[in-house]
Chains A and B, each alone.
Chain A
């Protein structure tokens, strides 16, 4: 069990560019979550997958954000036409069915210049 891994750990981009983050959950976990954390705040829920199905999306997830989880394994979070307000830490978490406990990755920090 190698835990939840996220890539890249840090990304600096210019406003208007597209970025993509990848999350590899713990292998036997069928539930996957994306959260966003800004400075001085707690993580905010973005979206949730059960296997390959995206079952819930926060209203924080604007049309510029899209997440996928093909084949119910790894997940990607893409942000199109980045804005400075997108600068944050993007956290991925996974859990097994019914466990209630989320296991978090170390996050991908995005800086939009």
Chain B
């Protein structure tokens, strides 16, 4: 079975500061890993994904994440927060075959302070 834990349901950062959103996963087989962003009353938009290959993954809007197998982590970072980054962020894990059914974390709401 697979599961995802996102530490911190709410994170506040100042504009221009480093953004770090934490995600740990549990999986009996090597997974695919994803980060999605959700703005109010909207669907989920893919930020980045790890499937195979390079463990440091770059996504849209300056975000990146590093797959660390030994730590079972896939933390999301951005060097400098922008006001437009305020949203809810979801980490997800899926198997690498079969249904590709995503299991989502409970989300982290990012607040950016002026």
Interface residues of A (CB under 8 A from B): 4, 31, 33, 35, 40-45, 48, 55-56, 91, 93, 95, 99-107, 109
Chain A residues with Cβ below 8 Å from B45 are: 104
How distant is the Cα of A100 from the Cα of B52 in the complex, in angstroms? 12
Counting contact residues on chain B (CB < 8 A from A), the size range is: 20 to 34
Residues of A within 8 A of B101 (CB): 33, 45, 48, 56
B56 to chain A, nearest CB (A): 18
Give Cα A40–Cα B88 distance, bound, in whole angstroms. Answer: 10
**Residues of A with C-beta under 8 A to B42:** 106-107
**Given A42-B90, A100-B51, are A95 and B107 neighbors across the interface (CB < 8 Å)?**
no
Candidates B4, B100, B104, B105; contact of A100 at CB < 8 Å? B100
When chains A and B are docked, how far (Å) is the Cα of A93 from the Cα of B34? Answer: 15
Asked if B78 is at the interface of the complex by the 8 Å CB criterion, the answer is no
Does residue B73 face the partner (Cβ distance < 8 Å to A)?
Answer: no
**CA of A50 to CA of B100, assembled, Å:** 11
Return chain A residues, CB-CB under 8 Å to B107.
40-42
Q: In the complex, which residues of chain A have a beta carbon less than 8 angstroms from the beta carbon of B44?
A: 43, 91, 93, 104
